Structure 1
Amino acid sequence: MDEADITEAGANQPDLAGLRRAPSQKRSRERVERMLTAASDVIAEQGSDAMRMGEVAERAGVSIGSLYQYFPDKGSIIRTLADRYNTLGRDCIEAELADVSDADGFRAAFGGLIDTYYELFLAEPVMRDIWSGTQADKQLRDIDLVYGRVNGEILARALKRVRPDVDPVEIDRTAFLVMSLGEAAMRLAISVGREEGDGLVEAYKQMVLGKLLSM
């Protein structure tokens, strides 16, 4: 999934986490999109720690006052971008698992999802930067937790179709844990060398599939 996909997905979501106020008119929405694009460029080039509100406003072609109308600080920009990536991930998970009805289909769909997520983490410097700082920011952790639960519910629905014989409470609990651990696995994989990271992702995938399909 490339930057155009992310921008298009985010443009259809007016109520973004971190916004001081939601843009109601097309012109305002376009202005906010320019701000987020500018912020993404800065983060990709310099990292979020180096991002400055003045530079974001300058690159977006807006006044600093206009930027502050929507984003009170750089943390709110980062949380909005995090929400955007999380929403994109949720939609991807939902689409991939929607038609799963048997163990073989689940194995293929889940394995493909993990590979896609890993490639996204590797390919998107903004995504890597945001997720690397999640544990140090309570609001980002809260966003992460919300989406972990949502993604766990999506996974649980697919599992219940595949394993109708298993206690649904156990499925719900396990699915939530699997999706939450998946984020941690991705962060670990991108913090080491590529060869080791590939091996860690594959180990996570096999470990999870073995657990989910043998409950």
Structure 2
Amino acid sequence: MGEEVAVRRRRQPEPTGQPRRIPQQKRGRERFEKILSVALALIEKNGSDALKMSEIVEKAELSFGALYQYFPDKSSIIRTLAERFNGQGRACVKAELATVTDAATLRQALCNIADQYYDFFRQEPVMRDIWVATQADRLLQEIDADDMEFHAQALFSVLAKLEPERRKAELLAIARLTMQLLAAAVRYAISLDDVDGRAAIALYQRMLPTAIARLS
């Protein structure tokens, strides 16, 4: 009996926070997407903390073997969903920063990004839950860190063009802190009801300096 338990324990997949593999064939992709769709519905209903692999197996009508073929653990499913949502956020940031030509348009772009992120999380309560999960799970924290660095680098590129005479290290520090503060404002705002949340975003926008690149 002891040997049997030990074998079962060895067979359990190690927590990695990443999908085991991304299917290339149509049938595999359909199964992959079905797993994510079921997980999304379960998170929306019960929250990410309550997500269970056994429940996904039941709702998706799959075997544990089929599920573990793609996702070794719950974190890998949440990670995949988070990365997909982050892709939408990155597209938003890229589009807004592409409009920047001076200090005034930079400030407006950051205001627009705050508005769009706030609306995005209000419209996607599942993503709000997943965003919280990435902060609580050590394996998922790197997703948020990578995403934040992407935004910081994007802003840094803009600042470097607006202020070419400034030290690059200084501009990168400004870019990183600016994006961290924007994310913190959105996190706080979505923790409130919609009226207070929008008021918080508006307050954050009024607090943004006119010439961000001139911060020292």
TM score, norm. by length of structure 1? 0.83
Q: Is the 8 A contact 2:103 2:211 kept in 1?
A: no
- Say which SS state the counterpart of residue 133 (structure 1) adopts: helix
Say if 2:93 is the partner of 1:93.
Answer: yes
The aligned residue for residue 105 of structure 2 is 105
Q: Is the 8 A contact 1:44 1:126 kept in 2?
A: yes
How do 1:63-102 and structure 2 match up within 5 A?
Answer: 63-102=63-102
Shift of 1:213: 4.9
Q: Structure 1: where are the runs of 5+ without partners?
A: 1-16
The aligned residue for residue 150 of structure 1 is 150
The aligned residue for residue 198 of structure 1 is 198
The aligned residue for residue 131 of structure 1 is 131
Letter in 1 for 2:205: K
Shift of 1:81: 1.0
Shift of 1:165: 4.2
The aligned residue for residue 49 of structure 1 is 49
* Distance in 1 of aligned mates of 2:143 and 2:107: 28
CA distance change for structure 1 residues 156 and 28 in 2, over 3 Å: closer, same or farther?
same
* Distance in 2 of aligned mates of 1:139 and 1:176: 22
The aligned residue for residue 9 of structure 1 is none
Residue range with higher mean Cα deviation, 31-40 or 86-95: 86-95
Deviations 1:21-80 (A, max 9, x none): 221223212211111111111111111122222222333343332111111121211111
Shift of 1:210: 3.8
Shift of 1:158: 1.6
* Distance in 2 of aligned mates of 1:97 and 1:106: 7
* Distance in 2 of aligned mates of 1:127 and 1:166: 37
* Distance in 1 of aligned mates of 2:99 and 2:198: 28
Which structure would you say has the larger Rg? 2
Letter in 1 for 2:156: A
Aligned Cα RMSD in Å? 2.0
Residue range with higher mean Cα deviation, 164-173 or 152-161: 164-173
TM score, norm. by length of structure 2? 0.83
CA distance change for structure 1 residues 46 and 175 in 2, over 3 Å: closer, same or farther?
same
Percent sequence identity over matched residues?
A: 44
- Say which SS state the counterpart of residue 139 (structure 1) adopts: coil
Structure with the greater relative contact order (CA < 8 A, sep ≥ 6): 1 or 2? 2
CA distance change for structure 1 residues 117 and 203 in 2, over 3 Å: closer, same or farther?
same
Q: Is the 8 A contact 2:159 2:171 kept in 1?
A: yes
* Distance in 2 of aligned mates of 1:212 and 1:123: 29
Q: Is the 8 A contact 2:75 2:139 kept in 1?
A: no
Shift of 1:201: 1.7
Q: Structure 2: where are the runs of 5+ without partners?
A: 1-16
Residue range with higher mean Cα deviation, 118-127 or 179-188: 179-188
